[in-house]
Amino acid sequence: MMSMKKGKSFIAAATMSLGLTVGSAWAMPLPLGTDISDRFHGTVHRNDLIATDETYNLPQTNVIYFEAGSYSGWHVHGAMTVIGIAGTGLYQEWGKEAVLIRPGDVVNIPAGVPHFHGAAKDAAFQQFVIYDSTWKAPEGHAAHTGALTEEQYEEANENAAAPSAMQNNDSEFLFGTGMTELTTPNFNSAVYLRKILGTLNAANSPEWVYV
């Protein structure tokens, strides 16, 4: 049986032999969903996972895929938490430095803050977005919106820094090996947990735990 690490090496080699970038659409961990490219620069897909739920207090949760070099314009929305899934992404608030988003990285976006997000120019990107879909901008809310210029995108690529929540993940698993061992009669061997998202997050989501 092929090991996970050898399998990933094989996928990377096969991807390059086809002239594609590592992290291309076919190699993404989760289904792409609906093409919503008409709202973005480049090719973007959205896969709706969870609708806003009042019983379990789950916010709207989607998976967004950006092809390499694809990005949004400057925009605002309800409070959002972004979790990187695969590839390399970019996020920048208006007036601040851009940050990189890699698998396992968490970025919290306050409600009403103008920003853009997308993929790096040389890598596709897939992310979870967990957000307040019911938010509406208060009357008179002033925020910078509109198209992101090519110069702004290039500058973001050149100067983006790692976010403070960088997971430093060099594991063959999506979010790294769990840090907390869980011993229970329900399993025949040790199980490890890693908290991906704590309860203190912009989207007001319950915590996420990776097993």
Residue spans of the chain under pLDDT 50: 1-22, 165-171
3-state secondary structure of 72: coil
Q: What domains appear along the chain, each with residue ranges and CATH number?
A: 4-167 (2.60.120.10)
Residue owning tokens 């739920």:
53
CB atoms within 10 A of CB 52: 13
Residue type, 17: S
195's enclosing H/E stretch is: strand 191-197
pLDDT digits (tens, 9 = 90+) for 111-154: 999 999 999 999 999 999 999 888 888 888 888 999 999 999 99
